[in-house]
Homo-oligomer: A and B are copies of this chain.
Amino acid sequence: MQSSIDKLHTTGHRLTPQRRLILDILQESAARIPSEHLDAETLYIRAKARDTNISLATVYRSLALLKEIGLVQQHQLGEDHGHFEPIQENLHFHFTCLNCGQVIEFEAPEVLGIVHGLQNSRGLQVKEMHLHLGGYCSACLNNGADGIAATSSSSS
């Protein structure tokens, strides 16, 4: 398998120190704290610590490029801004605690069945899958935080 850096070259893009730095930070984050899911601002702060000249615009432009060539994916995790993670080999999804904000990753291979069904029945070609659940984590439930009550749930 080709490296991330090869992927830049083969798609006709330049390997700049900024792009390498952003990819490094994302990969380090994913390796150390898989559920961390950096946002652009945090990524910028970490990048700036290693390259004081890097700009936020470059962070956004690099993320857009890395998304486009399939090295990074973006998620909406219940906040108003995007979160980023390097593409993983294993299919996983996200749960966000509405109380403490914690993100929990989980596997759900059943989603592949749903997707295949749709491809067959409706002729769709699925390129991105986002299963995002919101609710309360066990810690918050045990602390009886806030207005945690009914068990009804709404869908999308």
Contacts and interface: CB of A to CB of B under 8 A. Distances in A.
A48 B17 CA distance: 51
B131 A131 contact: yes
Contacts of A111: 110, 114, 131, 155
Contacts of A113: 110
A141 interface: yes
Contact of A156 (B130, B153, B156): B130
Nearest to A118: B106
Interface string A123-153: 1111111111111111001000000100111
A115 interface: yes
**This chain's copy number in the assembly:** 2
Given A114-B108, A130-B130, A141-B123, A91 B155 contact: yes
A94 B124 CA distance: 12
Interface string A27-43: 00000000000000000
A131 to B, nearest CB: 5
Interface of A: 70, 73, 75-76, 87-88, 91-95, 98, 104, 106, 108, 110-111, 113-115, 118, 122-138, 141, 148, 151-156
